[in-house]
Amino acid sequence: MKRICIIGSGITALAQAWELKRQSHDCTVLESSDHIGGAIQSHRRGDYLAEEGPNSIQVNSAEVDSFLKSIPGLDDRTVEADAAANKRYIVRGAKLHAVPMNPWQAMTTSLWSLSGRLRVLKEPFVKAIDPDIEESAAGFVRRRLGNELYQYAINPLIGGIYAGDPEQLSLRYAFPKLYALEQNHGGLIRGGLAKMRAAKKSGPPTFKKRIISFKDGLAELPQHLAAALGEAVQTNASIESIEQSGDKWLVTWHGQRQSFDELIVTAPAHALAKLPFPEEISATFKPLETIDYPPVSVLSLAFKRSDVAHPLDGFGALVPECEQRNILGVLFPSSLFALRAPEDEVLMTAFVGGERQPELASADTEQVKALVLDELRELLGVRGEPTFTHHRHWPLAIPQYKIGYGKLLETMKQTETRFPGLKLAGNYRTGISLTYCIESAAKSFSNRHDG
């Protein structure tokens, strides 16, 4: 049994702590603020439920499925996405076009021109790039699928996932699965077919792939984890010093000093240098301050169902950069999950800012609301005023895995090698989605246990 200290209380911290506790390790989680969950925050007001950060979890691996089912009381709170809300929209020419979900739809859609669709047929014959070359996500898609598919498929998708600039994001690190398809199979179509054949040989999955949330929002995930961890989670923990002594780590907070075998730091990259480490260690964090976190404003608005012309029959809509609009996209949470708005109303969540338009992400609710309302009126036929408004501004939102990220990853590895027992974890390292954060916690424990 090891004694382990985890700094931070986001999903990475709590997931690692829960995995450690399940294996009988002694774990202490220290959170400097008065709330847990990091960016996973839900706001309930009567019949309205707004998410301030992530809006859902994609259960697409056995590790994530097993992890969620292991948390006491959480399974009874789980709600699955409505299967009927399966459309994803992309804006083109001020109209919402459904994203094709099968080959026939892809060849007949009005979202892409005939020449754009035909260009995709060349994809299997495009050579894989030299692995010594680090390519941007934009460059990869244009090379393999053409410019139109980049503009009206991948560009808006990246804006919705990262709120990022595809010209700057590294394909290898921001989208490792796409990179692997080309490197391992020669392309996207070939890789997709290979995965289908492998899945057929392995038989049906041992879990159900699904999109989920919880009755009172995603915040129930960190809340249930914290409840299961009990006194191991301490909020308002002002850390006074962190020192390395031999093979131990000494952490002092609230006047008490405790010794730990390992120290897992899950603070954001931009906050690492602010922790009270000795200068020798703090200096190694300096390069990580170059990881960009663009600002994003998240605005949730409810309207009477009769005041919205669009059926909102899907997950939401993404906006391509070339459309030059003032939102990155809008989700339809009341279509996806029950009990997000009163029965005769609908709830929408819009995202503003990111790398594309950081100046539009404002803490001023009325300013953001005016921008969003103009867009929703034109794109979705919204009339009247909202019946509910909730705004959350994130001045430092999502870490960007830009070209050159590999050097930063090497810096993290060198720091851990130089200072044994110190581990750096978080969405700036192992992927920004909740799925990646949970999977990394499970794999991190497996690697520790196997070693």
Average pLDDT over residues 177-205: 90
Residue 451 pLDDT grade (very low, low, confident, very high; cuts 50, 70, 90)? very low
Q: Is residue 172 domain-shared with residue 237, that is, in the same domain?
A: no
Q: What is the pLDDT of residue 445?
A: 52
pLDDT at 203 over 90: no
Q: What is the pLDDT of residue 450?
A: 34
Residue owning tokens 């497996």: 446
Model pTM?
0.93
Instruction: Give tens-digit pLDDT for 336-389.
Output: 999 999 999 999 999 999 999 999 999 999 999 999 999 999 999 999 999 999
pLDDT at 211 over 80: yes
pLDDT at 418 over 50: yes
Q: Is residue 111 part of a domain?
A: yes
Residue 152 belongs to domain with CATH number? 1.10.3110.10
Q: Is residue 224 domain-shared with residue 185, that is, in the same domain?
A: no
Determine the structural domain holding residue 174 and report its residue range.
102-202
Q: What is the pLDDT of residue 235?
A: 96
Q: Is residue 120 part of a domain?
A: yes
Look up residue 274 and give its amino acid.
K
Return the DSSP state at 100: P
Q: Is residue 235 domain-shared with residue 195, that is, in the same domain?
A: no
Q: Is residue 180 domain-shared with residue 113, that is, in the same domain?
A: yes
Instruction: Give tens-digit pLDDT for 90-126.
Output: 999 999 999 998 888 888 899 999 999 999 999 999 9
Q: What percent of the chain has pLDDT over 70?
A: 98
Residue 204 pLDDT grade (very low, low, confident, very high; cuts 50, 70, 90)? confident
Residues 6+ apart with CB under 8 A from 110: 97
Q: Is residue 121 domain-shared with residue 252, that is, in the same domain?
A: no
Q: Is residue 236 part of a domain?
A: yes
User: Out of 175-179, 200-204, 219-223, 312-316, which region has the weakest mean confidence (pLDDT)?
Assistant: 200-204
Last residue of a domain, which of 170, 202, 234?
202
DSSP 182-244: HHHHSSHHHHHHHHHHHHHHH-S-SS--EEEEETT-TTHHHHHHHHHHGGGEESS--EEEEEE
Q: What is the pLDDT of residue 162?
A: 95
Q: Is residue 344 part of a domain?
A: no
Q: Is residue 79 part of a domain?
A: no
Q: Is residue 186 domain-shared with residue 234, that is, in the same domain?
A: no
Q: Is residue 133 part of a domain?
A: yes
- The domain total for the chain is 2
Last residue of a domain, which of 175, 202, 229?
202
Q: Is residue 159 part of a domain?
A: yes
Q: Is residue 130 domain-shared with residue 197, that is, in the same domain?
A: yes
Q: Is residue 269 domain-shared with residue 228, that is, in the same domain?
A: yes
Instruction: Give tens-digit pLDDT for 274-320.
Output: 999 999 999 999 999 999 999 999 999 999 999 999 999 999 999 99
Q: Is residue 136 domain-shared with residue 198, that is, in the same domain?
A: yes
Q: Is residue 118 domain-shared with residue 181, that is, in the same domain?
A: yes
Residue 413 belongs to domain with CATH number? 3.50.50.60
Cα 81 to Cα 66: distance, rounded to the nearest angstrom = 19
Q: Is residue 171 domain-shared with residue 243, that is, in the same domain?
A: no
For residues 243 and 249, the answer to whether their CB atoms sit within 8 Å is yes
The angle formed by the CA atoms of residues 167, 168 and 170, to the nearest 5 degrees, is 105
pLDDT at 202 over 90: no
Cα 219 to Cα 51: distance, rounded to the nearest angstrom = 8
Q: Is residue 225 domain-shared with residue 266, that is, in the same domain?
A: yes
Torsion 121-125-126-131 (CA) sign: positive
Residue owning tokens 């992927």: 431
Instruction: Give tens-digit pLDDT for 11-27.
Output: 999 999 999 999 999 99
For residues 325 and 356, the answer to whether their CB atoms sit within 8 Å is no
Cα 307 to Cα 187: distance, rounded to the nearest angstrom = 45
Instruction: Give tens-digit pLDDT for 46-91.
Output: 999 999 999 999 998 889 999 999 999 999 999 999 998 989 999 9
Q: Is residue 350 part of a domain?
A: no
Last residue of a domain, which of 174, 202, 230?
202
pLDDT at 447 over 70: no
pLDDT at 142 over 80: yes
